[in-house]
Amino acid sequence: MKNLIRWNPLDYNNIRVVREISNNSTGTSVAGYANFPGSHGSPIDGIAFEFSAVGNTFVDNSVLVHEMGHYLGLYHTFQGGCANNDCLTDGDHVCDTPPDQSTDAVPCGLSINSCNTDTDSGFATHQDDMVQNFMDYNTPACINQITQGQKDRMLFFVNNDKSSLLNLSACSSLCEDEIIVDISLSTLFPEINETVSVNNNTTNAVAYSWFLNGDFYSDQAEPNFNFSDPGIRYTTDRKYYCRAIKKKKTQKMSFEPFSTKLLANNFLMRYLKSLSA
């Protein structure tokens, strides 16, 4: 079925809504399933769930939220039973979900305590099972909770095993923020051997390339340049300019130093600001 249509699983989470995953009459009712981050990018990567589990609210959609949890690396809260010697490696590998070995559907408002190992790791006192958690099996109407530890675990997988999802250009805004070049020099009339520094208040640029007389000089935001040679004669075709680069868009700002009258120990620089695409 997954071969019928598939968007690149390195870029997209393929969520397939189907009529039925397994025949309920066989007693192996499955409302949905998802692949763990270890399958990221493979042909089986993604989520499938039955159309009857599509709803209008988080609670109605608890199956999709549950499968999304698996997709982003969460185990069931009852994973691994009551073992809780190290809450990062036992059970669901999440410390703020109590150990749990029950898959029973507990009526809303009632509690159950299937493990007494809570204080072995992570908890100061014994805890009831977290039956409201999206990653438990329970009555959908009672499920409404994801813990901070579960969020942290999902974010870890988003930023590691599944980080290719973040690179999809569709996740970027359609219109780039405009680069506003705002650059000035510490002095326009440096003495010989005086260092000129750049004061850079450009916004929305992510990288800089500075060129001196056409040669790459620096990629710092605010480079320095020492005017050490009194004999250099700059002409208008020799440019000292900065390119502020953001993705594919480049804006160029030119300083075109020139000398109308080369003074004995002074270098005259005209500051010229120009922008071009």
Contact residues for Ca ion (CB under 5 A)? 91-92, 94, 97-98, 113, 115, 118, 127
> Whose Cβ is closer to Ca ion: residue 113's or residue 159's?
113
Q: How far is the CB of 81 from Ca ion (least distance, A)?
A: 11
Torsion of CA 150, 151, 156, 158, to 10 degrees: 120
Pick from 42, 20, 41: which is nearest to 33 by CA? 20
CB-based burial label for 272 (10 Å; 0-12, 13-18, 19+): middle
Q: How far is the CB of 102 from Ca ion (least distance, A)?
A: 10
Residue nearest to Ca ion (CB): 97
> Whose Cβ is closer to Ca ion: residue 31's or residue 87's?
87
Q: How far is the CB of 126 from Ca ion (least distance, A)?
A: 5
Which residues contact residue 31 at a Cβ distance below 8 angstroms, ignoring those fewer than 6 apart?
21, 49, 50, 52, 53, 63
> Whose Cβ is closer to Ca ion: residue 111's or residue 235's?
111
Strand ordering across the sheet containing 207-212: 215-218, 207-212, 240-246, 249-255, 275-276
Strand duo 240-246 + 249-255: pairing: antiparallel
Given 20, 67, 222, 256, the catalytic residue: 67
Q: How far is the CB of 39 from Ca ion (least distance, A)?
A: 23
Q: Are 96 and 107 in contact (CB under 8 A)?
A: no
> Whose Cβ is closer to Ca ion: residue 36's or residue 211's?
36
**67 noted as active-site residue:** yes
- Give catalytic residue positions: 67
